[in-house]
Amino acid sequence: MTDLTLSDDELGLFTDLYELTMLQAYWAEGMHGSAVFSLFFRNPPAYRNFVLACGQEHAARLATRVHFPRRQLDRLETIGLFREPFLRWLEGFRFSGEILAMPEGTPVFPHEPILEVHAPVAEAQVLETVLMNLITTETVLASKAARITLAADGRPVMDFGMRRMHGTDAALRGVRAYSVGGIRATSNVLGSLRYGLPPSGTMAHSFIQAHHDELEAFRTYGQLYPGTTLLVDTYDTLAAVRKVIRLVREEGLQIGAIRLDSGDLGALARHARDLLDAAGLEHIQIVASGGLDEWTIRDLLVGGAPIDRFGVGTEMGTSVDAPSLDLAYKLTEYDGEPRLKNAPGKQLHPGPKQVWRFSDGNGRYSHDEITCRGEHRDGTPLLTPIIRDGAPLAEPPGITSGRDRAWAAIARFPELMRELEPAPTPYPVQFSEALQRLRRDTIAKLGY
Amino acid sequence: MTDLTLSDDELGLFTDLYELTMLQAYWAEGMHGSAVFSLFFRNPPAYRNFVLACGQEHAARLATRVHFPRRQLDRLETIGLFREPFLRWLEGFRFSGEILAMPEGTPVFPHEPILEVHAPVAEAQVLETVLMNLITTETVLASKAARITLAADGRPVMDFGMRRMHGTDAALRGVRAYSVGGIRATSNVLGSLRYGLPPSGTMAHSFIQAHHDELEAFRTYGQLYPGTTLLVDTYDTLAAVRKVIRLVREEGLQIGAIRLDSGDLGALARHARDLLDAAGLEHIQIVASGGLDEWTIRDLLVGGAPIDRFGVGTEMGTSVDAPSLDLAYKLTEYDGEPRLKNAPGKQLHPGPKQVWRFSDGNGRYSHDEITCRGEHRDGTPLLTPIIRDGAPLAEPPGITSGRDRAWAAIARFPELMRELEPAPTPYPVQFSEALQRLRRDTIAKLGY
Q: Is A444 left (phi over 0), alpha (psi -120 to 50) or beta?
A: alpha
Per the CB < 8 A criterion, the answer to whether A221 and B25 are in contact is yes
Report residue B157: phi and psi, to 5°.
-115, 135
CATH topology of domain B8-141+322-446: nicotinate phosphoribosyltransferase (3.20.140)
CA-angle at B169, arms to B168 and B170, nearest 5° = 95
CA distance linking residue A431 with residue B302, whole number of Å: 41
CA distance linking residue B88 with residue A381, whole number of Å: 53
Q: What is the pLDDT of residue A429?
A: 97
Q: Pick A121's closest partner by Cβ from B136, B199, B210.
A: B210
Instruction: Give the contacts of B248 (CB within 8 A, at least 6 positions apart).
Output: B254, B255, B279, B281, B284
Contact check, Cβ <8 Å, A210/B334 = yes
State the pLDDT confidence band at A1, using cuts at 50, 70 and 90: low
Q: What is the pLDDT of residue B448?
A: 60
Q: What percent of chain A has pLDDT over 90?
A: 92
The dihedral through the CA atoms of B213, B217, B220, B226 has a sign that is negative
What is the predicted ipTM? 0.96
Contact check, Cβ <8 Å, A168/B169 = yes
Q: Pick A190's closest partner by Cβ from B13, B35, B263.
A: B13
Chain B residues with beta carbon closer than 8 angstroms to that of A194: 3
Q: Pick A263's closest partner by Cβ from B194, B220, B344.
A: B344
Helix, strand, or coil (residue A277): helix
Task: Give the class (CATH, top level) of A143-317.
Answer: alpha beta
A343 in B contact zone (CB under 8 Å): yes
Chain B residues with beta carbon closer than 8 angstroms to that of A129: 162-163
Contact check, Cβ <8 Å, B11/A1 = no
Q: What is the pLDDT of residue A56?
A: 97
Q: Give the helix/strand (H/E) hosting A444.
A: helix A433-446
| Among chain B residues, CA nearest to A207 | B22
Instruction: Give the contacts of A175 (CB within 8 A, at least 6 positions apart).
Output: A159, A186, A188, A191, A192, A194, A195, A197
Task: Find residues 234-253 of chain A whose CB sits inside 8 Å of chain B.
Answer: 234-236
Domain boundaries, chain B: 8-141+322-446
Contact check, Cβ <8 Å, B225/A21 = yes
Q: Pick A209's closest partner by Cβ from B24, B220, B334.
A: B334
Q: What is the 3-state secondary structure (H, E, C) of B160-217?
A: CCHHHCCHHHHHHHHHHHHHHCCCCEECEHHHHHHHCCCECCCCCHHHHHHCCCHHHH
Interface test with B, best of A2, A4, A74, A238 (most B CBs within 10 A): A4
Can you say how many angstroms the Cα of residue B85 is from the centroid of all Cα atoms in its chain? 40
**Tens-binned pLDDT, residue by residue, of chain B (448 aa):** 678 889 899 999 999 999 999 999 999 999 999 999 999 999 989 889 999 999 999 999 999 999 999 999 999 999 999 999 999 999 999 999 999 999 999 999 999 999 999 999 999 999 999 999 999 999 999 999 999 999 999 999 999 999 999 999 999 999 999 999 999 999 999 999 999 999 998 899 999 999 989 999 999 999 999 999 999 999 999 999 999 999 999 999 999 999 999 999 999 999 999 999 999 999 999 999 999 999 999 999 999 999 999 999 999 999 999 999 999 999 999 999 999 887 666 778 999 999 999 999 899 999 999 999 999 999 999 999 999 999 999 888 787 899 999 999 999 999 999 999 999 999 999 999 999 999 999 989 877 6
Q: How far is B359 from chain A (nearest CA, A)?
A: 33
Q: What is the 3-state secondary structure (H, E, C) of chain B?
A: CCCCCCCHHHHHHCCEHHHHHHHHHHHHHCCCCEEEEEEEECCCCCCCCCEEECCHHHHHHHHCCCCCCHHHHHHHHCCCCCCHHHHHHHHCCCCCCEEEECCCCEEECCCCCCEEEEEEHHHHHHCHHHHHHHHHHHHHHHHHHHHHHHHHCCCCEEECCHHHCCHHHHHHHHHHHHHHCCCCEECEHHHHHHHCCCECCCCCHHHHHHCCCHHHHHHHHHHHCCCEEEECCCCCHHHHHHHHHHHHHHHCCCEEEEEECCCCHHHHHHHHHHHHHHCCCCCCEEEECCCCCHHHHHHHHHCCCCCCEEEECHHHHCCCCCCCCCEEEEEEEECCEECCCCCCCCCCCCCCEEEEEEECCCCCEEEEEEEECCCCCCCEECCEEEEECCEECCCCCCHHHHHHHHHHHHHHCCHHHHCCCCCCCCCCEEECHHHHHHHHHHHHHHCC
Mean predicted confidence (pLDDT) in A70-98:
97
Chain A residues with beta carbon closer than 8 angstroms to that of B21: 201, 203, 221, 224-225, 228
DSSP annotation string for A336-390: TEE-----TT-----S-EEEEEEE-TTS-EEEEEEEETT---SSEE--EEEEETT
- Confidence check: pLDDT of A32 > 70: yes
Contact check, Cβ <8 Å, B25/A318 = no
Looking at domain A8-141+326-349+382-412, what is its CATH homologous superfamily? nicotinate phosphoribosyltransferase (3.20.140.10)
Interface test with B, best of A18, A264, A315 (most B CBs within 10 A): A18
Q: How many residues does chain B have?
A: 448
**DSSP label at A399?**
H
Task: Write out pLDDT tens, residues A337-381.
Answer: 999 887 666 778 999 999 999 999 899 999 999 999 999 999 999
Average pLDDT, chain B: 95
CA distance linking residue B16 with residue B29, whole number of Å: 21
- Measuring CA to CA, which residue among A64, A120, A133, A132 is closest to residue A333? A120
